[in-house]
Amino acid sequence: MGRPQAEIIAAIATPPGRGGIGVIRISGNNLQQLTQTLLGKQPKPRYASLSQFLDADGQVIDQGIALYFPAPNSYTGEDVLELQGHGGPAIMNLLLDQCIASGARLAQPGEFTLRAYLNNKLDLVQAESVADIIEASTTQAARCAIRSLQGHFSTTIDELVSALTTLRILIEATLDFPEEEIDNLQTLQIKDKLNDIQQHLEQVLTSAQQGKLLQEGIKVVLVGQPNVGKSSLLNQLAEDDVAIVTEIPGTTRDTIQQAIKIEGIPLHIIDTAGLRETEDIVEQKGIARTHAAIENADIIIWLIDCSQHISDTKPESLLNLLADKPLLTIVNKIDLCDEAPRIEEINNNFVIYLSAKTGAGITLLRKKLLDMAGWQSNNAGEGLFMARQRHLAALTAAKNHLECAQTYTQNEYQLELLAEELRLSQDALSAITGRFTADDLLGEIFSHFCIGK
């Protein structure tokens, strides 16, 4: 998606389906003619007025509230007209068709917010937070997204960029005027200033990682042989009977996914078909889907029952898939073996003893899952930034460049390399807010927005 032109765009801004109210949003330069056609009048700016919405022949399509926001004091920075009518699909589509017939075109996904970004109404982080607010699945995630929309994340990034700029000025002055009596690196405290920036960046990266957890959560896959209690464990974690449980091995033949929340963190728990040799074609397909779920998982829970040995239960075919994944072993059915719920560390892997039937040890499992995901419970969502993968990648790149820069602070013969690493770090941070962003990245970001946003 390229940069938008000056043409007028229109879209239904409310969700599909029937509702008490439906909203059509229109944005562009010089909306007076289109407004006159649709309303038969020019509404008072920033004033809610009861209006009739007209077709090309002056016949009434609907009646509702018209709101007009002249540029530049609008969401997009252009003239914006919002029509709030009745939320029936037929009425909404009829009114949208009339907007298009009057000179507008259908907006692309995210185009209103893209125009707000290009007209400097929002920076890129704030623009992305609009979608994050809509998609937030927990209260904590919504609060983090609101903070990003209000500019807290952007302000923090700007502070880092400003500190880097100041440091670069000191170093490049030394490069540009070597014959002048400019203090050496030690006197300028370059290394100390760089350490301060690195510590600040580490704090921001940690907060961003926590925010990403709040927004996206983690995928946890339950894996094991048939009849070890995977479905029972899913039901226990979900606190509902979402999976069929029987004593017959092979009951689960397909993956079952259930979303739960632990301390506000979304966990996508996936129950899989039991792993065993089988001639059943349907069960074989279920096992193949189990392998696919493992490849996409963030955490693997390997289930056995208390009668099995921990070291002898993993099929050879799965060892390679499990090798690169965080693994948590669950010894289930301790109620049948007179075992107490507990957590142990065996060969650098954690093992939790529990009963999916009685719920004993489930609290240990919930806490361990959060620990493995990297969640810091004391944050409780406060002070976190709603971050996306591109933000984390940019912060990590900036961190790596600063680490390289530290190696060049030992003597004054490497000033050019030091200055270059600082520049690269600053560019990485600037890409987060959009101060330095390629057009193709903008297209990728805004293409995932809702139409009407």
Residue 253 has pLDDT above 50, yes or no: no
Over residues 295-319, the mean pLDDT reads 72
Residue 24 has pLDDT above 90, yes or no: yes
Tokens (6 digits) for 41: 């009048």
Same domain, 360 and 392: no
Residue 53 has pLDDT above 70, yes or no: yes
283 within a domain of the structure (yes/no): yes
pLDDT digits (tens, 9 = 90+) for 272-285: 765 555 555 555 56
CATH of the domain at 102: 3.30.1360.120
Confidence category of residue 137, pLDDT binned at 50, 70, 90: confident
Same domain, 103 and 235: no
Residue owning tokens 């302000």? 155
3 within a domain of the structure (yes/no): no
If one compares 105 and 268, the residue with the highest pLDDT of the two is 105
Same domain, 224 and 302: yes
Same domain, 187 and 295: no
If one compares 50 and 264, the residue with the highest pLDDT of the two is 50
430 within a domain of the structure (yes/no): yes
Q: Mark which of 359, 379, 399 sits at the end of a domain.
A: 379
pLDDT, position 316: 57
Tokens (6 digits) for 212: 């990403």
Residue 438 has pLDDT above 70, yes or no: no
249 within a domain of the structure (yes/no): yes
pLDDT, position 440: 54
pLDDT, position 444: 59
What does the alpha-carbon distance between residue 117 and residue 127 come to, in Å, rounded to a whole number? 7
146 within a domain of the structure (yes/no): yes
Residue 80 has pLDDT above 50, yes or no: yes
Confidence category of residue 56, pLDDT binned at 50, 70, 90: confident
Paired strand residues for 269: 220, 258
CATH of the domain at 366: 3.40.50.300
Tokens (6 digits) for 35: 């407004």
Same domain, 72 and 101: yes
293 within a domain of the structure (yes/no): yes
Same domain, 167 and 270: no
CATH of the domain at 183: 1.20.120.430
Residue 245 has pLDDT above 50, yes or no: no
Confidence category of residue 308, pLDDT binned at 50, 70, 90: confident
pLDDT, position 377: 64
Q: Are 254 and 231 in contact (CB under 8 A)?
A: no
pLDDT, position 3: 46
Residue 1 has pLDDT above 50, yes or no: no
Same domain, 87 and 187: no
What does the alpha-carbon distance between residue 62 and residue 38 come to, in Å, rounded to a whole number? 11
Q: Are 118 and 128 in contact (CB under 8 A)?
A: no
pLDDT, position 232: 85
Residue 10 has pLDDT above 90, yes or no: yes
Same domain, 256 and 163: no
Residue owning tokens 């700007």? 158
pLDDT, position 90: 93
- How many other C-beta atoms are found inside a 10 Å radius of the C-beta of residue 380? 11
Domain of 410, in residue numbers:
135-213+388-434
Q: Mark which of 70, 96, 123 sits at the end of a domain.
A: 123
Residue 295 has pLDDT above 80, yes or no: no
pLDDT digits (tens, 9 = 90+) for 175-221: 665 555 445 555 567 888 899 999 999 999 988 888 888 777 888 88
Confidence category of residue 326, pLDDT binned at 50, 70, 90: confident
What's the total number of domains in the chain? 3
Over residues 145-165, the mean pLDDT reads 89
- How many other C-beta atoms are found inside a 10 Å radius of the C-beta of residue 313? 16
Q: Is the alpha carbon torsion for 398, 403, 408, 414 positive or negative?
A: negative
pLDDT digits (tens, 9 = 90+) for 357-412: 888 989 999 999 888 887 876 554 556 777 888 899 999 999 999 999 988 887 66
Same domain, 116 and 69: yes
291 within a domain of the structure (yes/no): yes
Pick the closest to residue 299 from 252, 366, 359 (CA basis): 366
Same domain, 347 and 227: yes
Same domain, 174 and 113: no
130 within a domain of the structure (yes/no): no
Same domain, 251 and 110: no
Over residues 287-304, the mean pLDDT reads 76
Residue 139 has pLDDT above 60, yes or no: yes
Highest mean pLDDT among 211-225, 299-313, 343-357, 393-407: 393-407
pLDDT, position 79: 95
Which residues of 272-412 form beta strands (DSSP E)? 299-305, 327-332, 342-346, 349-353
Over residues 2-23, the mean pLDDT reads 81
